[in-house]
Amino acid sequence: MAKKVLGLSFGRKNKNCDIMVKTALMECEKAGCEVKFFRVDDMDIKPCTGCISCVIGMTSGRGKGGCVLKDDFAILDEALMECDGLIVGCPTYETSITGKFKIVCDRIGPSHDITFRKATYEEGLAAGKSPEQLPDVRSFKKRVAAFIAVGGAMTENWLEFMLPLMYEMTFSMGIDVIDMQKYWGAMAFEHVLGNDKQMARTRKLGQNIAEALAAETEEQRMLWRGDEQGLCPVCHLNMVNILPDRKTIECPVCGSYGKLTLDADGNIQLHYTEEEQLRSRLRWAGKLEHSTEIKTQAVGPGQIPDLKERMKPYIGYAE
């Protein structure tokens, strides 16, 4: 059966992101994939209200991880469930992702977390429920993704938070990112269609997705196909936090801890143990650690018996 690739653009109609995502999709189609494209700003997708009924539904065993909001997210969700590969293009706004991009990440968020969904699914089956009453079984499909970040600025660091934050789209579903393209200086060109170098890189990105989807082994499928290995061996980005103990570092994308050393030439070296790499929130173990913390430590109503009383001075205050 043909692999399905979903392209999402968060850019302006027929501008850089739209055309780059479609270019990559065309390569996938040439390789035999079925493709679908959405320009997400055309869709009515409301922000998450934070009601967490998706998670409560799953942890209580009564829900499937669905959302109470009724809008076009259902259309996007069905396409996400169907796809094997995802290609996402986003413009840079204020060094970062657009507001709509963040809204979609939040709507995918905890409701699609594969560790929550898997536990609900397996416990439900064991309790004799039918698959229709349980989280969508397509949630557990292995998927790959590639990111295209576009910035008008001439300096690369004006796109600084793009790729780290684009990962938010893949966290909860455990989608493996296998390639990324960072296109800065877009405003020096009327359109990306006049930038042969970037167009060639976008075609390569599409070919990389098609190649990953055709892989016979899991190792081949997940293989990193980006231009640079990056400092973090899991997310392949270069961001790093230095913790207050001044001994420990943390990859902000993965959440893994590591150590920093200087080699004989004075070059900075980062070290993340195998165990810490597995703890990355891009991997099953890291996600499970998080969902288990929530399941075992989050408290429900009733912990503060006089909460209503304590709340009184705040109701309507300065509104």
Minimal distance in Å, beta carbon 80 to ligand FMN? 21
Among 5, 8, 17, 104, binds ligand FMN (CB under 6 A): 17
With 0-12 / 13-18 / 19 or more C-beta atoms within 10 angstroms meaning exposed / middle / buried, residue 13 is exposed
Among 12, 62, 259, 271, binds ligand FMN (CB under 6 A): 12
3 sits in the region (left: phi over 0; alpha: psi -120 to 50; else beta) called beta
| Residue 163 binding ligand FMN, by CB under 6 A | no
| Residue 151 binding ligand FMN, by CB under 6 A | yes
Stretch that binds ligand FMN, among 23-31, 85-93, 210-218, 251-259 (CB under 6 A): 85-93
CA distance 160 to 163: 8
| Residue 7 binding ligand FMN, by CB under 6 A | no
Which residues make Cβ contacts (< 8 Å) with residue 240, sequence separation at least 6?
231, 232, 249, 250, 251, 252, 260, 270
Q: Which is nearer to ligand FMN, 150 or 177 (CB)?
A: 150
Minimal distance in Å, beta carbon 43 to ligand FMN? 16
Among 26, 34, 106, 152, binds ligand FMN (CB under 6 A): 152
| Residue 15 binding ligand FMN, by CB under 6 A | yes
Q: What is the largest CA-CA distance in the chain?
A: 66
CA distance 95 to 93: 5
Helices (H) and strands (E) in the chain, counts: 11, 9
Q: Which is nearer to ligand FMN, 44 or 190 (CB)?
A: 190
| Residue 263 binding ligand FMN, by CB under 6 A | no
Q: Which is nearer to ligand FMN, 119 or 148 (CB)?
A: 148
| Residue 190 binding ligand FMN, by CB under 6 A | no
With 0-12 / 13-18 / 19 or more C-beta atoms within 10 angstroms meaning exposed / middle / buried, residue 1 is exposed
Minimal distance in Å, beta carbon 79 to ligand FMN? 20
Stretch that binds ligand FMN, among 93-101, 112-120, 209-217, 288-296 (CB under 6 A): 93-101
Q: Which is nearer to ligand FMN, 109 or 206 (CB)?
A: 206
If DSSP states are collapsed to H, E and C, what string results for 279-313?
A: CCCCCHHHHHHHHHHHHHHCCCCCCCCCHHHHHHH
Dihedral pair phi/psi, residue 37, rounded to 5°: -130, 135
Summarize as ranges the residues that interact with ligand FMN (CB under 6 A): 11-12, 15-17, 91-95, 150-153, 158-159, 184, 186
